[in-house]
Amino acid sequence: DAKTTQPPSMDCAEGRAANLPCNHSTISGNEYVYWYRQIHSQGPQYIIHGLKNNETNEMASLIITEDRKSSTLILPHATLRDTAVYYCIVLGSAGSARQLTFGSGTQLTVLP
Amino acid sequence: GAVVSQHPSRVICKSGTSVKIECRSLDFQATTMFWYRQFPKKSLMLMATSNEGSKATYEQGVEKDKFLINHASLTLSTLTVTSAHPEDSSFYICSAGRAGAEQYFGPGTRLTVT
């Protein structure tokens, strides 16, 4: 699975959009981009995933560049409860039969 | 989303004793479950892959005789930390998945060995 690079930390004002970048320059054509987050002392929570097209669900939007070498997770209206570590993970297939390799992630702090 | 539970959520045990942690998928059958360990301010590290009806696959550096994994049914996997030592104190997290769907994580178990 391709390696990912994320900034270690970011701040965001409550109510504003939080844009979390992820670089995955070695991603191959059949690899998916997954995003999970981990609120302090809890298990990780699935957010969204995509292959080529942009994706949106009730939690967030995922924007993948055309060359697929980077992506951005967007939380449109961040709240204090969105403070968490966000992990960008590249996985060789959709579905969960394979273990996830967690990098360092981005600590997002939403400020009041 | 699917629900994965863990029990207990917190446990304190004395050095030398054994502790069992349960991981259950509540609303789906999971042929594969994963066990992770997380030290303070660190990321999750995979310990082992648990397959229903067969032996677990351990990551390099994880002692299989110390961390016993049993996946006796499609909804239950257990991790037993044997002869626990203070350095085993950590946050243990399981996850469960099924083909074609996302992987779901349990809430974690905080183990403290005194």
Whole-number pLDDT of residue B103: 83
CB pair distance less than 8 Å for B34 and A105: no
Size of interface A-B (CB pairs under 8 A): 64
Å between A17 CA and nearest CA of chain B = 24
Over range A86-106, report the average pLDDT: 80
Residue A95 above 60 pLDDT?
no
Whole-number pLDDT of residue B28: 84
CB pair distance less than 8 Å for B103 and A104: no
Largest Cα separation within chain B, whole Å, is 42
Over range A57-79, report the average pLDDT: 97
Residues of chain B with pLDDT under 50: none
**CA atoms of A8 and B34, how far apart (whole Å):** 26
Sheet containing A55-56: which strands, arranged edge to edge? Answer: A18-23, A70-75, A61-64, A55-56
Residue A52 above 80 pLDDT?
yes
Whole-number pLDDT of residue A92: 73
Residue A73 above 70 pLDDT?
yes
